[in-house]
Amino acid sequence: MGLQSLSRILLLATGLTATSIWAHHSVAGVFDSEQPFEITGVVTDVEWINPHIYMHLDVTDEEGNVTTWRLETLPTAFMRKARISEEMLMGHGQLVRVTGITAHRDPSLGWVHRITYADGHYYQLSDS
């Protein structure tokens, strides 16, 4: 293997590592624990992906304006261990209440602490 080939492999490996580190971030690095939220809306989508699952929640304000929140939560492996499925998070069109913390730089991005469904059952996904 020539020096040029080795250099390309090292460059590729470094790039992949940097991408992985960027993709998987700390909660404190992105979200502000001093900015809690409580919102009520309808789950419109669940992105069952790694490194973290995202829920999309349509929240309607008093004037009828809808804001779609993107809510980040645990990895799929954690949810599977807890026996929580993508279908279970959806809420079947009913209103759900979500508490969590807001992102430092995006007011409609949040980290989920708890999701409470219309029938009263809830998932406590992280500490509040």
Here the CATH number for the domain that contains residue 36 is: 2.40.50.140
Domain assignment present for 76 = yes
**pLDDT by residue for the chain (128 residues), tens digit each?**
554 443 344 343 444 333 333 444 567 678 989 999 999 999 999 999 988 999 999 999 999 999 999 999 999 999 999 999 999 999 999 999 999 999 998 989 999 999 999 999 999 998 86
- Residue 71 is encoded by which pair of tokens? 């809510």
51 in any annotated domain? yes
Residue 119 is assigned to a structural domain of this protein: yes
Q: For residue 19, tell me if it sits in a domain.
A: no
Cα distance between residue 123 and residue 128, in whole Å:
12
Q: Is residue 65 part of a domain?
A: yes
Decide if 12 is inside a domain: no
> Which residues span the domain enclosing 67?
29-124
Domain count, the chain: 1
CA-based end-to-end distance of the chain:
53
